[in-house]
């Protein structure tokens, strides 16, 4: 499992020969958005072994990783981590080590996220981190007209190439789309 900007060939080579390969170019941070992961879980049967290069390729969240491993184990499916055989789920020690390392990885990600937020806050205070609104005044006007005509907001957001949250913020006139912000533009 790889993010879109990664080359999965290295991971596939490390895994070796398998009966069926499930690969996807999405982040492992969210289990719900991973169609191939769901397909793999539905596909595996008792006695199967799911071979993964490393735990973070299966999930970036300790809770999700442990839940996935538990679900697979309840189906009689073992999980083998090629880069870290000591984490394989066929022994109590492997499960323990997997739990500890997954927790450490989650802490590291949270720390990085916290540092990033601190850096952004400092940059904003110094006036360095100013982003332009994603929608122009004209686009907000058009969006309001479309919504008033009954076009679903999700469709309007897709058409404008923004998230629904950005559209909602703009339609409510909040943040960068607020009257005081618009007057300054």
Residues taking part in catalysis: 2
The string of DSSP codes covering 108-141 is HHHHHHHHHHHHHHHHHHTT--PPPPSS-HHHHH
Question: What are the backbone dihedrals phi and psi of residue 49, each rounded to the nearest 5 degrees, phi first?
Answer: -125, 125
From residue 113, how far is each of 54, 63, 103, 107, 117 by CA, in Å?
22, 18, 15, 10, 6
* Dist CA 176 CA 178 (whole Å): 6
* Dist CA 39 CA 35 (whole Å): 6
């Amino acid at each position: 499992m790889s993010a879109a900007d990664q080359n999965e060939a290295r991971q596939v080579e490390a895994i070796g020969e398998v009966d069926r390969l499930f690969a996807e170019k999405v982040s492992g941070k969210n289990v719900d958005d991973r169609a191939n992961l769901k397909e793999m879980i539905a596909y595996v049967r008792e006695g199967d072994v799911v071979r993964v290069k490393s735990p973070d390729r299966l999930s970036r969240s300790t809770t999700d990783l442990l839940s996935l491993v538990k679900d697979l184990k309840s189906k009689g499916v073992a999980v083998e981590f090629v880069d870290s055989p000591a984490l394989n789920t066929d022994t109590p020690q492997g499960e323990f080590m997997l739990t500890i390392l997954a927790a450490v990885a989650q802490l590291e990600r949270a720390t990085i996220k916290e540092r990033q937020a601190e850096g952004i806050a400092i940059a904003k205070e110094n006036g360095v981190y100013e982003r332009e609104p994603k929608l122009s005044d004209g686009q907000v006007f058009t969006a309001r007209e479309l919504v008033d005509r009954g076009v679903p907001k999700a469709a309007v957001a897709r058409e404008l190439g923004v998230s629904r949250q950005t559209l909602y913020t703009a339609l409510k006139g909040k943040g960068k789309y607020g009257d005081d912000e618009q007057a300054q533009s």
